[in-house]
């Protein structure tokens, strides 16, 4: 598959503090690649460098076959950038906003009109095209921000946390729009700290922490090591006490964490120990009010690799 982004040993520091350190990765034609990491991991720095907004200290970047150090203007035409901060005009209609940004890429006449309508449809804002963004919800503004970036039909779309702080309906519109864009042939690099989003839409995931990649692969590949692991969560009738309720001696118990009104037990499912766990809880005099189970997720992977939660 053709490599659309090639990054080799990318470095960037701010006032001697490293923000990205020796990053190397590739993104291939037609992929949705999720750049996942907690706040401060270096996602925006990486994306701003690829978007030609920020200059790296060192490293090589090639986008669409163009060298970032030499062909900045060609790269700018090749990509569509959805910035973390909204870049739209509140006082002109949604349609005029999209048309304005598309015209900066040389679109005009009937092509401009068609592409503007298409972009608004893709983000579910066509029916609101005559309205001004100042009347829009935060989620609708974010969707308009995306429409402005895609109307010129870029081969590569780079999105920096496009779903931060929005309503579920807008989030779904955005995720569906990303999948449609991929199906229509675009390549998408997408940064987020919401693991559920990359789990849902990314073909490949790059996990970044403190400016370095700590893992990459498909969700299946990343979670493979944990495929025999499941976490049971029990809601009890009262706060459990670790001295009266001892589960760690049971076979296949990997970890136990006590919570306000229950406990979470991570086990190796090859041991078939659920009935032992339930019996032990009941024998200690607790009532089980509810129970659920959860397979390993990217959160598990992140916690295992860094010792901290993605959600911190």
Ligand X SMILES: Nc1ncnc2c1ncn2[C@@H]1O[C@H](COP(=O)(O)OP(=O)(O)OP(=O)(O)O)[C@@H](O)[C@H]1O
Binding site for ligand X (CB under 6 A): 14-15, 19, 37, 39-45, 193
Q: State the minimum distance, in angstroms, from the CB of residue 145 to ligand X.
A: 16
What whole-number distance in Å separates Cα of residue 87 and Cα of residue 95? 14
List helix spans (H) across the chain.
43-50, 72-78, 94-104, 109-122, 138-150, 168-183, 195-201, 219-223, 274-283, 298-306
* CB closer to ligand X, 47 vs 119: 47
* CB closer to ligand X, 52 vs 93: 52
* CB closer to ligand X, 91 vs 312: 312
Residues 6 or more apart from 84 whose CB is under 8 A from it?
44, 160, 161, 164
* CB closer to ligand X, 9 vs 70: 9
- Helical (H) or strand (E) element with 256: strand 253-259
Q: State the minimum distance, in angstroms, from the CB of residue 201 to ligand X.
A: 18
Q: State the minimum distance, in angstroms, from the CB of residue 43 to ligand X.
A: 4
Q: Which of 121, 117, 92 is nearest to 107 (CA)?
A: 117
* CB closer to ligand X, 39 vs 309: 39
Q: State the minimum distance, in angstroms, from the CB of residue 18 to ligand X.
A: 8
Going from the C-alpha of 28 to that of each of 127, 155, 225, the distances in angstroms are 34, 11, 25
Please list, residue by residue across 165-191, b when 16 or more beta carbons sit within 10 angstroms of its beta carbon and e when fewer do: ebeeebbebbbebbeebbeeebbbbbb
* CB closer to ligand X, 205 vs 265: 205
Going from the C-alpha of 209 to that of each of 10, 139, 273, the distances in angstroms are 15, 27, 35
Q: State the minimum distance, in angstroms, from the CB of residue 163 to ligand X.
A: 12
Q: State the minimum distance, in angstroms, from the CB of residue 34 to ligand X.
A: 13
* CB closer to ligand X, 120 vs 310: 310
Please list, residue by residue across 101-110, b when 16 or more beta carbons sit within 10 angstroms of its beta carbon and e when fewer do: bbeeeebeee
Q: State the minimum distance, in angstroms, from the CB of residue 299 to ligand X.
A: 17
């Amino acid at each position: 598959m053709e490599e659309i982004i090639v990054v080799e040993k990318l470095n960037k520091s701010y006032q001697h503090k490293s923000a990205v350190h020796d990053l190397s990765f590739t993104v291939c034609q037609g992929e949705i690649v999720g750049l996942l990491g907690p706040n401060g991991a270096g996602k925006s720095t990486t994306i701003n460098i690829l978007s030609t907004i920020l200059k790296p200290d060192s490293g090589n970047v090639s986008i669409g076959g163009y060298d970032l150090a030499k062909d900045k203007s060609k790269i700018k035409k090749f990509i569509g950038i959805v910035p973390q901060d909204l870049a739209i005009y509140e006082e002109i209609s949604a349609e005029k906003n999209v048309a304005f940004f598309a015209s900066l890429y040389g679109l005009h006449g009937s092509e401009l009109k068609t592409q503007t309508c298409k972009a608004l449809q893709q983000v579910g804002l066509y029916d609101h095209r005559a309205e001004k963004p100042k009347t829009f919800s935060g989620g609708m503004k974010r969707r308009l921000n995306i429409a402005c970036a895609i109307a010129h039909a870029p081969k590569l779309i780079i999105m920096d946390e496009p779903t931060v702080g929005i309503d579920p309906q807008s989030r779904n519109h955005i995720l569906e729009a990303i999948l449609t864009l991929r199906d229509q042939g675009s390549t998408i690099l997408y940064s987020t700290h919401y693991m559920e989003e990359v789990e849902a839409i990314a073909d490949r995931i790059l996990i970044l922490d403190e400016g370095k990649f700590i893992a990459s692969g498909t969700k299946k590949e990343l979670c493979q090591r944990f495929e025999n692991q499941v976490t049971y969560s029990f809601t009890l009738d009262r706060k459990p006490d670790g001295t009266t309720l001892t589960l760690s001696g049971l076979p296949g118990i990997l970890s136990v964490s006590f919570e306000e009104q229950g406990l979470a037990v991570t086990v190796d499912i090859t041991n078939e120990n659920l009935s032992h766990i339930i019996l032990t809880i009941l024998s200690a005099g607790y009532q089980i009010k509810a129970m659920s189970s959860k397979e390993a997720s990217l959160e598990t992977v992140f916690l295992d690799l860094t010792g901290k939660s993605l959600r911190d």
